[in-house]
């Protein structure tokens, strides 16, 4: 559905350890009901991001990152102002990763007016593994920060 004023998108594969942080955060946010706010999970092709956010004025994306910081570290990026830091977000061998998808949208002038990316530093990405303790502890914190951000946007 398009037409939502604001949107939260959790990116990543919940079956790959800390890559599931995006899904964990949006599932936590789902329990709240905000008019005009859509909450989505996205696992797979980065080009689908553009389809997802089309029409939304304010978009928050949350994904796992690997930047060398301590596991569970939360980082916030304004993706409209500047590209995500190189190499921090998952690189897909099948299609576009998050950074590439955002840059493709920027090149085609298809970025939403506001696009905030929350990255949570992952520790492990093994198939079938649960979230690591550090990342699990970050989930409610990120969810709360996004909730405040969204409340201010709508």
Partner 1 sequence: MSGRTIKVDLLARVEGEGQLYVRVKDGAVADVRLKIVEPPRFFEALLRGRDFREAPDITARICGICPVAYQMSAVHAMEDALGVTVGGSLRALRRLLYCGEWIESHALHVYLLHAPDFLGYPDALRMAKDHPAIVQRGLRLKKAGNAIMRLLGGREIHPINVKVGGFFRTPSRAELAPLADQLEQALDDARETVRWTASLPMPALDLPCTFVALRHPDEYPFNEGHIVSSGGLDIAAREFDRHVHEEHVPYTHALHSTLDGAGPYLVGPLARYNLNGDRLAPAARQAAAGAGLGAVCRNPFQSIVVRAVEILQACGEARQIVASYEPPDRPAVDVPVRPGLGYAATEAPRGLLYHRYEIDGSGAILDAKIVPPTSQNQKSIEDDLRRFVTAHLDLPEQELQWRCEQIVRNYDPCLSCSTHVLRLEVDRP
Binding site for partner 1 (CB under 8 A): 43-45, 47-48, 50-51, 93-96, 100, 103-104, 107-109
Choose between 8 and 96: whose C-beta lies nearer to partner 1. 96
Choose between 51 and 144: whose C-beta lies nearer to partner 1. 51
Distance CA 80, CA 123 (A): 28
CB of 32 to partner 1, least distance (A): 25
CB of 59 to partner 1, least distance (A): 18
CB of 122 to partner 1, least distance (A): 20
Q: How buried is 138 (Cβ within 10 angstroms: 0-12 exposed, 13-18 middle, 19+ buried)?
A: buried
SS3 142: helix
CB of 81 to partner 1, least distance (A): 18
HSE-CB for 19 with a 13 A CA cutoff? 20
Choose between 57 and 104: whose C-beta lies nearer to partner 1. 104
Round to the nearest angstrom and report the end-to-end CA distance of the chain: 18
Choose between 81 and 94: whose C-beta lies nearer to partner 1. 94
Which residues, other chains included, contact 51 with Cβ-Cβ below 8 Å and sequence gap of 6+?
Answer: none
Choose between 42 and 143: whose C-beta lies nearer to partner 1. 42
Instruction: Determine the distance from the C-alpha atom of residue 150 to the mean position of all C-alpha atoms in its chain, rounded to a whole number.
Output: 14
Distance CA 91, CA 51 (A): 20
CB of 90 to partner 1, least distance (A): 14
């Amino acid at each position: 559905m398009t037409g939502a004023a604001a949107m939260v998108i959790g990116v990543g594969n919940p079956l790959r350890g800390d890559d599931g942080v995006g899904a964990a955060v949006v599932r936590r946010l789902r329990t709240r009901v905000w008019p005009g706010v859509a909450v989505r999970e996205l696992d797979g092709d980065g080009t689908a991001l553009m389809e997802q956010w089309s029409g939304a004025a304010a978009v928050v994306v949350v994904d796992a990152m690997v930047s060398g910081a301590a596991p569970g570290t939360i980082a916030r990026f304004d993706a409209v102002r500047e590209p995500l830091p190189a190499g921090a977000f998952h690189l897909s061998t099948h299609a576009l990763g998050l950074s590439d998808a955002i840059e493709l949208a920027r090149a085609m002038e298809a970025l939403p007016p506001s696009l905030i990316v929350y990255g949570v530093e992952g520790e492990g990405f093994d198939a079938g593994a649960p979230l690591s303790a550090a990342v699990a502890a970050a989930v409610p914190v990120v969810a709360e920060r996004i909730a405040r951000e969204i409340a201010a946007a709508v």
